[in-house]
Amino acid sequence: MASSSDRKEIKCSFCGRGKSEVNVLIAGITGHICDNCISQAQSIIKEEFAQKANKQLESSLILQKPDEIKAYLDDYIIGQEDAKRVLSVAVYNHYKRLLQPKKSSAYDEVEIEKSNIIMVGETGTGKTLLAKTIARMLNVPFCIADATILTEAGYVGEDVESILSRLLQAADYDVALAERGIVFIDEIDKIARKSDNASITRDVSGEGVQQALLKLLEGAEVNVPPQGGRKHPEQKLIQINTKNILFICGGAFDGIQRHIERRVKSTTIGYSSIQENVTLDRDNMLKYITPTDLKSFGLIPELIGRFPVLTYLNPLDEKTLRRIITEPKNALIKQYVKLFEMDGVKLSFEKEVLDYIVEKAVLYKLGARGLRSICEAIMTDLMYDLPSRPDVKDFAISLDYAREKFEKSKISQLKVA
């Protein structure tokens, strides 16, 4: 005959297990729940929230076809047709991969890999602008990290995880949103292996950083300090999965042209070049770049393998620079006209002034970024004086005015490159 204690044994209200069959049994007002049911309920809630978050992300993500992405880039970036086409396809495939149905009969076993991108181009050719413009179009979190400040763990500098801290901040600490963002790592060439020769000093900002970046680029659960900086035992960390984060890297790779020339045997040493019948564009050797050249420059093969998409940016000539300051939606000239319009002044530029600005940018080899510096040198006095002169409603900048202001500026004292 069963004892009264057996008949009155407390059971879980969900699964019916008795107190002796579970580890923990929590009492409620009218029932009980065991630790097994709590774990199962937690998994269900987590999955429901994840599905809800995914639906919200999918609705906020603006994904367009490659030709539409390129058309958007054309509004803000002049030239660089090859780079824009390559980027458009890579970004489209990456986010199409994220939005693919979880279950789709014949394609269940096909796993599409990430399309991390590396861009090679001289300074001021538009690497950062390309990445920023694509992120703005897709409406996803975006951050820029500088590879030059990264060092191996334990040395003065920043850990590679600090890159994700910036992305997390850009996503307003929404982990699910950050896990679909875009990270642009600038100056990636500055962490190249300094030398193949053994050295008594440790290369703490070179190959070691490349090794540390591998897990981020491939896709891993990474513990990230939310405020950046070094990780400490007492600091609360946030876990981010980098599997679906798109990494775009850019670098000038100064001197890589020599590696490219050596590879294509374009120089003649003793005998005629093997490719003497092939016409090479020696002013733009980057168009012949391959992953082999990146390895010769100092990037480790493991890192190169995690960037399946490689593209280059053309150096900017006078014609392209001339279009840059007038044609894009955010063109410099349009910005200055708008700024003065807000003060009630109609600003105009003589054609010769624009040619003069471009001429100086080419002379000092400042690239598109240098156009702003030259314009500021010419416009600063005007922007200082006109807001206090309500009687001036129109102002036309002449070549003589531009030349006078520029020659008085510090930038004009730079040595010609």
* Token pair recorded at residue 236: 């609360």
For residue 412, the model assigns a pLDDT of 74
d(Cα 26, Cα 49) in Å, to the nearest integer? 24
**Assessment of whether the complete model's pTM goes beyond 0.85:** no
For every residue of 92-108, DSSP letters joined together read: HHHHHHHTS-S--GGGT
Alpha-carbon 282 to chain mean position: 29
Cβ atoms 230, 154 nearer than 8 A? no
pLDDT digit string, tens, across residues 276-303: 445 677 778 888 899 999 998 989 999 9
For every residue of 29-88, DSSP letters joined together read: SS-EEEHHHHHHHHHHHHHHHHHHHHHHHHHH-----HHHHHHHHHTT--S-HHHHHHHH
d(Cα 93, Cα 338) in Å, to the nearest integer? 37
Of 200, 222, 217, 242, the residue nearest 153 (C-alpha): 222
- Top-level CATH class of 318-413? mainly alpha
pLDDT, the chain, mean: 82
Q: Structural domain boundaries of the chain?
A: 11-50, 62-100+113-194+202-312, 318-413
pLDDT digit string, tens, across residues 138-196: 888 889 888 888 876 656 667 788 889 889 998 888 888 888 888 999 989 888 876 55
For residue 227, the model assigns a pLDDT of 73
Q: Which fold has domain 62-100+113-194+202-312?
A: Rossmann fold (3.40.50)
